[in-house]
């Protein structure tokens, strides 16, 4: 017995392109995100792209952003295209990373058309410690004193 075909799979197979010349497309690079005991690993399929075609950023609000562009082949006068299915244009993928992700140690590796981004996790003892804020009292006796907070020594 043949498996039932998912009618939405056709959407995944259809190239996301804009037919008008000169307009850029926003094509999604397919991604997998897995969590291991020590890291978050995000893999994106970006066949035919080089590391200079892709930019990876981590924002303060824990958002990992991958931006890239797959350029189309230059048209040569006299060439006749019979089929153009490979998606070209810009892509943008964003992932909100959890609190256990160490944003200062993100690494990326591109091999065989797969971009692998590894975000290590904080060590268990480091992530479970609460931040303690010491309150410093000012010596002045004026009414409505400001309370100043300083970072505690750990």
Distance, in Å, from the CA atom of 116 to the CA atom of 43, rounded to the nearest integer, reads 4
**What are the tokens at 42?**
């995000």
**What are the tokens at 17?**
């392109």
| pTM for the structure as a whole | 0.63
**Contact predicate 126/38, CB 8 Å:** no
Distance, in Å, from the CA atom of 52 to the CA atom of 70, rounded to the nearest integer, reads 11
In 3D space, the residue among 55, 47, 36 whose CA is nearest the CA of residue 108 turns out to be 55
**Contact predicate 89/27, CB 8 Å:** yes
pLDDT per residue rounded down to tens, the chain (154 residues): 555 555 555 454 444 444 444 334 555 688 999 999 999 999 999 988 899 999 999 998 999 999 999 888 788 888 888 888 877 888 899 999 999 999 999 999 999 999 999 999 998 756 556 778 888 877 655 555 555 555 555 4
Q: What domains does the chain contain, in order, with CATH numbers?
A: 23-74+83-122 (2.60.40.790)
Distance, in Å, from the CA atom of 75 to the CA atom of 12, rounded to the nearest integer, reads 27
Listed in sequence order, the DSSP H helices in the chain are 9-13, 124-128
């Amino acid at each position: 017995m043949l498996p039932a075909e998912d009618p939405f799979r056709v959407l995944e197979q259809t190239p996301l392109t804009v037919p008008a010349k000169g307009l850029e497309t926003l094509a999604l690079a397919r991604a997998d995100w897995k969590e291991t005991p020590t890291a978050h690993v995000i893999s994106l399929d970006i066949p035919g792209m080089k590391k200079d075609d892709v930019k990876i950023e981590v924002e303060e609000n824990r958002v990992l952003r991958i931006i890239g562009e797959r350029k189309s082949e230059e048209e040569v006068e006299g060439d006749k295209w019979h089929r153009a299915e490979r998606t070209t244009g810009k892509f943008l993928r964003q992932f909100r990373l959890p609190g256990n992700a160490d944003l200062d140690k993100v690494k990326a590796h591109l091999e065989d058309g797969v971009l692998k981004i590894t975000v290590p996790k904080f060590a268990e003892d480091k992530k479970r410690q609460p931040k303690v804020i010491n309150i410093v009292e000012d010596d002045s006796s004026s009414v409505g004193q400001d309370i100043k907070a300083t970072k505690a020594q750990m």
